[in-house]
Amino acid sequence: MPATHIRRWKTLALTTSAVLVGLTLPAMTATPASATTTAYDSTYYKNAVGKTGTSLKSSLHTIISSQSKISYAAVWDALKVTDQDPNNSNNVILLYSGTSRAKSLNGGDTGDWNREHVWAKSHGDFGEVTGPGTDLHHLRPADVQVNSIRGNKDFDNGGSAVSGGGGSLTDSDSFEPRDADKGDVARMILYMAVRYDGGDGFADLEPNEKVNNGSNPYIGKLSVLKQWNDEDPPSAFEEKRNQVIYDTYQHNRNPFIDHPEWVDAIW
Ligand SMILES: [Ca+2]
Ligand SMILES: [Ca+2]
Ligand SMILES: [Ca+2]
């Protein structure tokens, strides 16, 4: 190796190790062994890094509650950006089915896609007014019929195949997304639980171990959601979506996409 290359490599190695020390040492003091680091740890998350349990949840609530909000009508156009098919800019990728469908087919008819509230509207009765009902961190494009089959069911394993559901399953009281969407669903639900704690005039949303939660501000099952978070880690699509919501629309982040290990640190 020519001397100039060796010098450059050494300089790079020194610089890299100095940066890594600066980033990882604070995180190693209290976060779980599988802790990840992100570019936002020393800025956006600086008051949360190193905490666990209710202390971590409370810090994250404060951090992510500083946000912009959009109207329910504006959600249509936002989803065309946040959920754009990486391989076809005319399409969006639909939650649960994984289908790529034309952005122009937004609507309410068979074959259209519409705005799925992953934390079902009825669970806390927040509806479609600006607030939890318009929060892009849990809104996804979904096939009209698949969305209707999910309805307001809680999430759990089991059931029979959903028609056009890409491998999703359902029974009388619960819905199981296809494998590639399991972690996404878990992290969206847990974002909502941390973001909405009874302020802003809305209910305190929380996960629990039940199905058939109905109109109570709860969604189950927490143990299953935790399992799904482990089985389906954040994808490039999910990370980009989080970034677009942060940069362009709401200016807040889903902490569980940046730090999936924080799920186990809180629950
Ligand atoms: Ca069930
Ligand atoms: Ca996924
Ligand atoms: Ca809550």
pLDDT tens-place string over residues 64-113: 999 999 999 999 999 999 999 999 999 999 999 999 999 999 999 999 99
> What is the pLDDT at residue 226?
98
**Mean pLDDT of the chain, nearest integer:** 90
Angle at 197 between CA 83 and CA 127, to 5 degrees: 55
Higher model confidence: residue 92 or residue 200? 92
* Whole-Å CA distances, 107 to 85, 141, 156, 252: 18, 10, 28, 28
- Return the SS3 of 168: coil
Q: If you measure from the C-alpha of residue 231 to the centroid of ligand 2, how many angstroms do you get, rounded to a whole number?
A: 9
CB 118 within 8 A of CB 168: no
Q: 63 or 200: which carries more pLDDT confidence?
A: 63
Question: Residue 35: what pLDDT?
Answer: 72
Task: Categorise residue 88: left if φ over 0, alpha if ψ from -120 to 50, beta otherwise.
Answer: beta
The per-residue pLDDT for 2 is 41
Q: Is the pLDDT of residue 244 over 50?
A: yes
Mean pLDDT over 157-183 rounds to 98
Dihedral (CA of 198, 183, 50, 243) sign: negative
Mean pLDDT of 240-251: 98
> How many A from CA of 95 to the centre of ligand 2?
10
The pLDDT of residue 34 is: 64
Contact status, residue 211 vs residue 154, Cβ threshold 8 Å: yes
Distance linking the first and last C-alpha atoms of the chain: 51
* Chain-centre distance for alpha carbon 265: 17
Euclidean distance between CA atoms 167 and 255, whole angstroms? 28
User: CA 185: distance to chain centroid?
Assistant: 6
Is the Cβ–Cβ distance between 121 and 88 less than 8 Å? no
- Ligand 2 mean position, distance from CA 172 (Å): 25
- Determine the structural domain holding residue 243 and report its residue range: 3-266
Structural domains in the chain (count):
1
> Which pLDDT belongs to residue 31?
40
59 φ/ψ angles, rounded to the nearest 5 degrees: -60, -45
- Name the pTM for this structure: 0.87
- Strand, coil or helix: 198: coil
Ligand 1 geometric centre to CA of 209 (Å): 12
Contacts for 60 with CB less than 8 Å, ≥ 6 apart: 48, 194, 255, 262
CA distance 102 to 123: 30
User: How large a percentage of the chain has pLDDT more than 90?
Assistant: 85
Q: What's the whole-number mean pLDDT along residues 140-161?
A: 98
* Helix, strand, coil percentages, rounded to 5, for the chain: 45, 15, 45
Are the C-beta atoms of residues 168 and 156 closer than 8 Å to each other?
no
Banded model confidence at residue 36, pLDDT cuts 50, 70, 90 = confident
**CB of 175 closer than 8 Å to CB of 159:** yes
Instruction: Report every protein residue that has its C-beta within 5 angstroms of ion ligand 1.
Output: 156, 171, 173-174
Cα-to-centroid distance, 16 and ligand 2 (Å): 30
pLDDT of residue 151: 98
Which pLDDT belongs to residue 7? 38
